[in-house]
Amino acid sequence: MNKKNILVVDDSEFVRKIVQAELGGNYNVIQAENGKEALELLYTNAVSLIICDIIMPIMDGYEFVKLIKNDDNLKNIPVIMLTTESYDYTKSDFEKLGVAEYLVKPINSEKLNEVINKVLS
C-alpha cells in the first residue's frame, strides 16, 4: 500500500518532529520550515494534505495558503492550519481562506489524527 504524502510546514523543528513521530507510520511526512520552502516542495512532490503553521519567517502560513488556493494545480490540496490561542485569526478567516480545519497548539495527537482522517476521507 502506498502511503499518502503529508507536507508539514512549521518553523519549529520540535513541532515538525512531533508530527513526524505521530504520523510517520501511516504517512510519508515531508517537512518545510516556511511557506517559500513548502511551495518549492509542492512543485516536486504529490501531496495529499498540508499541515501548516501561521507564524513563520520568510513566508507565513496565511500568505502560503493564499498562494496555493489561487494555484489551479494546488488549490484542491486540503490544509489544516496550526495556530496558538492568542492569534488574531478567527474560524471565519480560515474558512474564507479555504482551510479545511485548524488546530490550536500544543498539538493533541488524538485530535490531530481525528482531523486528518476527517479531512482525507
CATH code for position 60: 3.40.50.2300
For residue 80, give the 3-state DSSP assignment.
strand
Instruction: Kindly tell me if the per-residue pLDDT of 98 is higher than 90.
Output: no
Give 37-82 as a 3 state SS string: HHHHHHCCCCCCEEEEECCCCCCCHHHHHHHHHCCCCCCCCCEEEE
pLDDT surpasses 80 at 13: yes
On the question of pLDDT at 87 being above 70, the answer is no
CB-CB contact of 63 with 18 (8 Å)? no
- Cell numbers that stand for 35 in this block: 511557506
Q: Residues 56-85: pLDDT tens digits?
A: 899 999 899 999 999 999 999 999 998 876
Percentage of residues in the chain having pLDDT higher than 90: 60
Mean pLDDT of 109-117: 90
More confident: 47 or 83 = 47
Q: What is the pLDDT of residue 115?
A: 93
| Tally of domains within the chain | 1
Range 86-109 average pLDDT: 79
Domain of residue 96: give its range.
Answer: 5-120
